[in-house]
Amino acid sequence: MPVIDPATAPRGEGSRYPAPFDAPCRARHWLKLGDAAGLTQFGVNLVTLPPGTWSSQRHWHAHEDEFVWVLEGEVVLVTDAGEQRLRAGDSAGFKAGSRDGHCLQNRSQAAVQLLVVGSRNDADYGEYPDIDLKYLPGRYSGGGGYVHKDGTPY
Amino acid sequence: MPVIDPATAPRGEGSRYPAPFDAPCRARHWLKLGDAAGLTQFGVNLVTLPPGTWSSQRHWHAHEDEFVWVLEGEVVLVTDAGEQRLRAGDSAGFKAGSRDGHCLQNRSQAAVQLLVVGSRNDADYGEYPDIDLKYLPGRYSGGGGYVHKDGTPY
């Protein structure tokens, strides 16, 4: 059935960033709605950010478009342009190849819920402008992974 | 800026279905949020269905995944399995190649708001199981269009 049951949708939580970069993201958790419906061309995750939690470290994607819709709460979007507050009903899009890194930080006292959509391209790679971290192509085929910006492994 | 301004996002409305199939869809309208952010790998539309309006005729996609999140109101999903009511916070996914046609009908007295995501693949084509209609590949490159199921044009 195409209707997605949140009770049985696959779940994710935490962060695979090497320490200490995982710290602000450890409490995040999400339902993999797209996976639950068998979709493969893009991912749709229902992401919960408890107070104090970030969606990610600030990053950009070389080959994947990304879209975020705020369902609940207030979150701070950080980009090269600075900071902007997004609330329920606000949305943002991040075009593949744009090297303006972004992340969403919940600095409030209440949980934030986001719907996050991203295309899936095994050739995708990206960088984290604020920290010594980048990720390699191949994360959907068993490769990928995080390395220092000079390419040495963590 | 990646934040999407609904006031300046491109808009769409109505239906290009040949008459009389356009009738239940004529009052639909939408904001092209993904286009507003310059995204090209998938579309994200904020769709409004006034009372009595359908999202589409019942259809399936050969090569495009589709995802729907109900933001507001109550809508009836029609598939081969029958009818299901979806309310705010419910979602559904329609996998490329699954020939179980779907549409969303607003049979209520209040407007329905949906977030609709679909991948973009110029090779996509599809059919409408309940009516003598199919659509041809090429709709992102200036081709495509609706024809009878035997291939003759409308």
| B41: chain A residues, CB-CB within 8 Å | 42, 64-65, 96, 119, 121
Phi first, then psi: what are they for B24, rounded to 5°? -75, -10
Rounded mean pLDDT of chain A? 97
Check: CB of residue A112 under 8 Å from CB of residue A73: yes
pLDDT digits (tens, 9 = 90+) for B59-77: 999 999 999 999 999 999 9
Those residues whose C-beta lies under 8 Å from the C-beta of residue B131, and which sit 6 or more positions away, are B21, B57
> E strand or H helix at A151, and its extent?
none
Q: Supply the pLDDT for residue A94.
A: 98
The residue ranges of chain A whose pLDDT is under 70 are 1
> Can you name the residues that pair with A112 across neighbouring β-strands?
A49
> b/e map of B96-132 (b: 16 or more CB within 10 Å)?
bebeebbbbbbeeeeebbbbbbbbbbeebbbbbeebe
Mind telling me how many Å the CA of A26 is from chain B's nearest CA?
25
Residue of B3, B64, B66 to mutate, testing the A interface (most A Cβ within 10 Å of its Cβ)? B3
| pLDDT in single tens digits along all 154 residues of chain B | 699 999 999 999 999 999 999 999 999 999 999 999 999 999 999 999 999 999 999 999 999 999 999 999 999 999 999 999 999 999 999 999 999 999 999 999 999 999 999 999 999 999 999 999 999 999 999 989 999 999 999 9
Give the neighbor-by-neighbor strand order of the sheet with A133-135. Answer: A60-61, A126-128, A133-135, A146-147
Mind telling me how many Å the CA of B106 is from chain A's nearest CA?
17
Establish whether this prediction's ipTM goes over 0.95. yes
In angstroms, the Cα distances linking A33 to A2, A37, A146, A152 are: 11, 7, 25, 34
The token duo for A145 is 């992974």
pLDDT digits (tens, 9 = 90+) for A10-44: 999 999 999 999 999 999 999 999 999 999 999 99
Q: Which residue of B has its CA nearest to A101?
A: B2
d(CA A81, CA A67): 18
Query: Does B69 sit within 8 Å of A38, measured CB to CB?
Result: no
Q: Supply the pLDDT for residue A34.
A: 98
